[in-house]
Amino acid sequence: MNGMENKVALVTGAAGGIGEAVVRALAERGVAVALVDRNADRLEQLAKELRNEGGRAEAFPADVTDSADVEAVIDGVEQQLGPIDYLVNGAGVLRLGQARALTDQDWATTFAVNTTGVFFVSRAVVNRMVARGSRGAIVTVASNAAGTARVDMSAYSASKAAATMFTKCLGLEVSKFGIRCNVVAPGSTDTPMLTALWEDNSAAQASIEGVASAFRVGIPLGRIAQPAHIADAVLFLLSDQAAHITMHDLTVDGGAALGH
């Protein structure tokens, strides 16, 4: 028994690298998982895989930037799977570029998904938890870039910093209801979002060794994170092992931000 059996979790960005790892880890622990993402085909494929492995998982295609869509989907999740106990805000996008060269759309899209989406989904889930008087746990997947300046990542870093502080403020407000809100801040992780930026294998080594011209110190532990490393941190903060932890920001980056 792990204390998570028969709970219900909603994971946004479920079709992505970290989101999928979180979904699989939850399903392995007997959690019924609602998979939310815009990639409907991949969602359904993943849900079928998990069900074939004995898990309980359902696909709920949705756009986290659409408030009405979010409210409707969360109603559907609770009708089909039951009251939500855990929320993982994993949906995210990355638009690279010098701050002065970013387009209006780059900025708007980044904040719509990474920040406003966290607000829409968290608000919808927490309001339902409070209304029925149930405890719960929320984890927002942010980034170590939320607290460490990075070249070409101003929009992403700013959006993740905003999502981080929103999650902490929400956690302060709802702590009296027994709802915990925490943040996991990954560094470079072997996901499609990262590897799509690599031109060849040297890019991974550059991340590990550091890039002086970009003021990156590298990764002291000497490796790129795997999605499972991030999922482990997320599950810890959702679990009863973290029952007295809220408003915490757990960095999982192999030391790349030097402990910040």
Instruction: Point out the catalytic residue in the list 60, 119, 120, 156.
Output: 156
Q: How far apart are CA 143 and CA 163, in angstroms?
A: 10
Reported as a single tens digit per residue, the pLDDT across 58-106 is 999 999 999 999 999 999 999 999 999 999 999 999 999 999 999 999 9
Residue type, 180: R
Classify 21 as helix, strand or coil: helix
Using one digit for the tens of pLDDT, what is the confidence trace for 148-174? Answer: 999 999 999 999 999 999 999 999 999
Beta bridge partners of 86: 9, 137
Say how far apart CA 72 and CA 64 lie, in whole Å. Answer: 11
Q: What is the pLDDT, as a whole number, of residue 240?
A: 97
> Catalytic site residue 86?
no
Per-residue pLDDT reduced to its tens digit, 135-147: 999 999 999 999 9
How high is the pLDDT of residue 112? 98
Distance CA 58, CA 34 (A): 5
β partners of residue 4: none
Domain boundary assignment for the chain: 8-187+230-251, 192-224
Mean pLDDT is lowest, of 6-10, 118-122, 214-218, 236-240, for 214-218
Mean pLDDT of 192-217: 78
What's the whole-model pTM score? 0.96
Architecture per CATH, 8-187+230-251: 3-Layer(aba) Sandwich (3.40)
